[in-house]
Structure 1
Amino acid sequence: MASDRPVVVYPPDEQGGRRVRVDGTILGLAYSVRDVAAFMQEAGLQGWDEMDVVRSALIEWRGGGLDIWTSCPSSAPALATAPALATVI
């Protein structure tokens, strides 16, 4: 399915990274809304921050919205701004 939006954030992979495509070019993996904002800045939107990403109609979120950063359906969605937690055994 083609998107009419110039930015597509794909579903998370096994590590929680989401591919970011801008105007047909994959820019890399984002692990948070902050990363998406950085990609938007690289694409020429220098003043963009996390709130611009949250509010933007330019972005199509596939496989979940901006609050989904894990691919495991059995776990609760990780918030984009939450720090990663390490498990110590």
Structure 2
Amino acid sequence: MSSLIVVHPPSPEGGRRVTSHGETLGTAYGLTDLIEYLGRTGLDVATIDLYDDAIIDWRGGNHLVWGREAE
């Protein structure tokens, strides 16, 4: 089974595209944005485990990488 949420690698301009089942939820520039998108999918953001790879697939860096610093 694939993850519910994919956080894609940082773009050259900064930020990371966030998708759910192939649908773009938006571009996150930090955890605040990501948590907003997770809430929109119906996930309980109060109990979400950002390290649970069944829920979130981090590509191109973990939750600390959001912009050009990944290059």
Q: What's the TM-score, normalizing by structure 1?
A: 0.66
User: Does 1:48 find its partner at 2:45?
Assistant: yes
More strand by share: 2
What number of residue pairs does the alignment pair up?
69
Give the RMSD, CA atoms, in angstroms. Answer: 2.0
Q: Which runs of 5+ in 2 are unaligned?
A: none
Moved over 3 A (4+): none
Q: Percent identity?
A: 33
Q: How far apart, in 2, do the equivalents of 1:34 and 1:52 lie?
A: 13
Of the two, which has the highest radius of gyration?
Answer: 1
Is the contact between residue 29 and residue 67 of structure 2 (CA under 8 Å) also seen in structure 1? no
Structure number with the bigger relative contact order (C-alpha 8 A, sep ≥ 6) is: 2
